[in-house]
Amino acid sequence: MTKHKISLNVTLDPEKMPEHIDWTATGSPQETPTPAKAFLLSIWDPAEKTALSIDLWTKRMMVDEMNDFFFQSMMTMANTYGRATKNEDLSEELKAFAREFKKKADQKIIDEQNK
């Protein structure tokens, strides 16, 4: 059995807000830590039957980037759900929701810029 490790490093400012995030993974061709502006981590606890989550983003994460990040994360979740459950109908509903979310999020930025 092969075992790998994923490490996340978070640097906090004096107010304990994330200032810098980077990550590494064993088995990756990338030898140096890779910077990131945000991450969403969800872990299923089978004993409690609940999801445990850590969601962090840096002060430099812009709203348009967060919109893209959530859109892409929702699309990934929809694909994963489809592969895991073989329920393509619900997978497609999640994707449709993600596309509508992205459309509305982008429109909100445009509306705010035009104020």
What is the three-class DSSP state of 103?
Answer: helix
Long-range contacts of 77-81 (CB under 8 A, 24+ apart): none
What's the pLDDT tens digit per position in 9-53? 999 999 999 999 999 999 889 889 999 999 999 999 999 999 999
What's the pLDDT tens digit per position in 29-41? 988 999 999 999 9
56 contacts 10 by C-beta, under 8 angstroms: yes
- C-alpha distances in Å from residue 74, one per residue of 69, 83, 91: 9, 14, 10
